Every structure is written in structure tokens, then in C-alpha cells.
Structure 1
């Protein structure tokens, strides 16, 4: 795909420039006001069949807005969100694409790393297979490595091997794993934590699109003064991610942990979920092993994941 930005006094003039330089098959990717609010700045694209499967940038490509648009397109960021981020980035007047995109992400999204003290229990929810159990083990390991107290509870006593997997992790960490199948049992398990202890609750995977199942998940944590965190695997369909995020946001999710960044080539679903559910980015998971990366996310590190050289950015995010 070839991208080019045009600046003109009016939309009609900008469209004529697009047709002249890119031809009648070009599509409009984003539009915004020109510098100082005067005129129009329009970014258009046209397919380049010989480069259809490539993820390469022209060495002479210097326009940061064009670079951002191409990156967001590569990651399948939905059009409305892509246009918002591009518009904000253009208003920052930054010469560097990473800084411009980081500024746009900072203005549009919230970034809230998880606490390390036991002020409120952290309840991990999400689809089956999203990585909740491994994420719970990673968070518990981090607490132990920092010599901070941690209490681990699981409500997953139905899935084959669900309890055994987490019990194996906690046994290595010399932590007792508590179980809770009802709201009352979960409240008692949380109350058993010593003051200042961070409590992690690994909830069984559910179906957020089944009203009864979603209501069951809501009732399970009802009455807990807890921080509900949605765990979502990167690389899913952005529209499915939007529906999922909105469903969990309705029952109390306020933060997002994105997993499997090591195998996902498109991160549009992660951005779509955070946007639709108004979820704050908390952590990112890289790798399926407990010793693999899990760390906080900030606007600059997210911008680096979205822009070229993403492999090195993912490796650094795991450190």
C-alpha cells in the first residue's frame, strides 16, 4: 500500500490532487485541518500489489503522519480510532513519528500499572484461553521476587487442569492456593488475606455474550471492593474485541492486560478494546512462560510496538 499526504486550500482541491497523483482508485485514509486551522490535510492510499504482503518502509519516507497512518493500517486499527489518533498526532507538530504517536496515545488512552500493595483485590476476567492463569502466576511471581506478600485465589474448578496448572505455579512459589466457587466463598477467601497483602483472583473463563453467564460472573465478585481487570489475547478480531470489552466494562472492568504480544502481528484489537471499554492499559504479556515478560505499558512503549522495528520493541517490553 502506498500512502501520500496532500495539503490544499479546500477539500475539492485536495481530492483533485489525490486523483492526479494516485489515480481514481485511491482511498481516503484520514482528513484533518491544515496547519493553523487553515485549509485541509488529507492522507490517501492506493494498493501496491507487489508490496501487498510486505511490512517495509521507504527509507526516504519522512512524514511522521504518513508513517503513523501506515502503521495503524498495518495493525488493523478501526478507521474511526485511526482517524482520531492521526488527528491528535498531527496537532502535536512533532517531527518524529514515535513521539507524535506516543503523544496521541497519551491523550486518547489511560495508562495505569497495577499496584504492588494490597489496597484492593485484583480480579482477572476474560475469555477461556486468554491467559488469565499464566498472568496470575506472573503477577504472583513478581510479588514474590519483590518480597511482597501475595494471596492467590482461583474460581476455576471446572476446567480440566485449571486448578492444577495454577497450583503447580503457587507450589513453586511456596504460596497456598485458595479456591472459591461462590460469592460467599470468594468473600471469605479475600477476607483471609493479611493487611497489605495483594490478593489475585483468577476467575474461570466465561462467555461475555451469554447474558446468564455474564451475570454469573458479575454476581461472583459482587460485594468485593475489587479491581476487575480484563485479560485479552492480542491478535483477535477488532470488532469481537470491542464487544468483549464493552461486556466486561458493564460488569466493572476498568483495566486491560494484553497477552501474547510475542505471537500477535496485529494489535488493532487491543487498541479497539481499550477504546470501546474505556479501559486503562495496565500490563502486557509476552510469552507463555511464567518467567517471560509481563510489565507495565506507557504511551512511548506502545508507540514503539505499533511502529516499525516492533520485534526489538517487544523484546524490550519483556525486560
Structure 2
């Protein structure tokens, strides 16, 4: 599918441009008021047709992808960013008045979101990971522990996942490789005692069991564990979640104390609307991201430029930036 945004003084003029470029088969995706409240902006789409020599999209990008705001608008639409958030980011990017869409989008997300790396330089508070089952918390704990050990700093790993079959064994397999003793704490009281016993002995990483944020009893159990200790609470979310669902989940965990959002599986994610939606609605700081399922893949820091590269088409990023993105984004 090909996407393009058309701007004109009136709706009739804008529709005429749509028909001129895309013909009668065009699909109107969205309509917006133009910059400064005047005029009309229409985003239209048409099914992509493949011929024997390749895709028309290559020609389309070369000939029509010249306006950085059009590029950003199409990218946000493709990524499934909610309309209001998308409008805010586009308006901010327009204020930048930059020809480079990577820098314009980076500036917009930098103004709209907060970025905060995982606090591994200090051991002031335990790091406690929360989230839904299968989000990647256990592997993320292993990645964090590996990074700390490689930096030759002490670390204690605590798991409260004593119910799920194999939950303890999975994390224990990682900690044994690192020559760490895995501490089990199944209740708030046990967790409090385990953290107190680890005070002054380096970093403390806590793996909470996955829970259902829409189940009152389940969320109450998670809340008791979180409130048992004074920790940096990080919400771990897998890429590819529905944006509305992600926002609702993030808001619930924000109430429980989460302040950072860590995204996993970005190597298997092509649309990042849920990531932006969750952070915006719950006012969460964007922190490191997990690229692959292996502990060796580690975690990588997220910043405005990195996020802009993930959101924009590869061809655009390559045209405006010599650095190649390490992870594939929405247009992979």
C-alpha cells in the first residue's frame, strides 16, 4: 500500500490532488486541519501493485518523498500511532522546520517523551521488573545481570516467580552461568527480607511474576510485592501490542509505581505505535530496549534519534544519516 499526504486550501482542492495522483481507487485514511488552523491535510492510500520488474514503491519514494512532514506523517500512520499523539508529534516536527526528517522527528519525540537509561551506574535502589506473562522480564533480568557482571560489579538476583512452572529454573540457569546465587522470595515479607539482606552488596535485580493487569486479585498480588520494597519499577512490554491495549496496561502499572518502560523483541516488531502510546498515556520514561531473545544480544539504550530511526522507513534513514540502524524498524 502506498501512502501520501496532500495539503490544499479546501477539501475539494485536496480531493482533486488525491484523484490526480492516486486515481478513483484511492482510500482516504485521515483528514486534518492544515497548519495554523487553515486549509486541509488528507492522508490517502492506494493498493500497491507489483509488476514483473519490482515494486512501484521505489519510484514513488524517489519522486514524491521530498517533504519531511509528509514522510513523518506517513511513518506515524504506518506505525499505528494514535491520531492525537500523531498530530502532536507532527505539529512539533513542523515547528522544527528541518529538511532532515530523522532530525525533525527526533526533535519532536525528544520534546514529547522523556528518556532515561537503566540505572546501572549506581546501586541506590533495587531494579524491579513488572509486566504481563511472556513480556520478556526473566530474559531482561539475565541481560541486566550479565552487563553488571561484565562491568565487574556485584549483583544480587531475586525472583518472586515461585508459582509458574519452571519460572525459578529458567532464571537459575542464567544465574548459574554468571556464578550467582538466585534468591527466591515468594511473599512480600520474604522479598523485603531478601532486599534488606542484600543492602550494601551491589546491585539488586528483582524479577516479578507475570500477571494479568485486568484481574483484580492478580493485580493486588503484584501491588503487594511492589510496595514491599523501595525500588525502581520498570514496566517490561513486548513489541507488537495493540496501541490502545498497551496504553491501558501501562496506565495500570503506572498506578502500581512503574516509572520506566522497557520494550522487548524489537527485532520482531515492525510497528511501534504501542510503545509511544503506552509511554504517552502513562507518562513513562523510555529506557533501554531488548533486541533479541538471547542474553548475548543484551540491551541497547533508547534515545530520540534511535526512536526516529525505528519509526521511519529505512530508505529515508539511509538518505539522511550515514549510520545504519542496528535493529529493523517498521519498514523492514
Q: Which residue of 2 aligns with 1:89?
A: 93
81 and 54 in structure 1: CA distance in 2 versus 1, 3 angstrom threshold: farther
Q: Which residue of 2 aligns with 1:284?
A: 289
Does structure 2 retain, via aligned residues, the 8 Å contact 1:261–1:287? yes
RMSD over aligned Cα atoms: 2.3
In structure 1, which of residues 14, 19, 28 is the aligned counterpart of residue 15 of structure 2? Answer: 19
- Distance in 2 (CA, whole Å) between partners of 1:77 and 1:196 is 43
Does structure 2 retain, via aligned residues, the 8 Å contact 1:241–1:270? yes
Question: How many positions carry a matched residue from both structures?
Answer: 308
54 and 78 in structure 1: CA distance in 2 versus 1, 3 angstrom threshold: farther
- Distance in 2 (CA, whole Å) between partners of 1:55 and 1:313 is 21
164 and 27 in structure 1: CA distance in 2 versus 1, 3 angstrom threshold: closer
Question: Structure 1 residue 81: deviation in Å?
Answer: 1.0
- Distance in 1 (CA, whole Å) between partners of 2:6 and 2:273 is 22
255 and 314 in structure 1: CA distance in 2 versus 1, 3 angstrom threshold: same
Q: What stretches of structure 1 of length at least 5 have no aligned partner?
A: 8-12
Residues 177-196 of structure 1: matches in 2 within 5 Å? 177-195=182-200
30 and 149 in structure 1: CA distance in 2 versus 1, 3 angstrom threshold: farther
316 and 240 in structure 1: CA distance in 2 versus 1, 3 angstrom threshold: closer
- Distance in 1 (CA, whole Å) between partners of 2:252 and 2:35 is 35
Residues 32-181 of structure 1: matches in 2 within 5 Å? 32-34=34-36, 40=38, 42-50=40-48, 58-60=61-63, 61-116=65-120, 117-181=122-186
Question: Structure 1 residue 32: deviation in Å?
Answer: 4.5
51 and 68 in structure 1: CA distance in 2 versus 1, 3 angstrom threshold: farther
- Distance in 1 (CA, whole Å) between partners of 2:28 and 2:72 is 18
Q: Normalising by structure 2, report the TM-score.
A: 0.87
Q: Is 1:3 matched with 2:4?
A: yes
Question: Structure 1 residue 295: deviation in Å?
Answer: 1.6
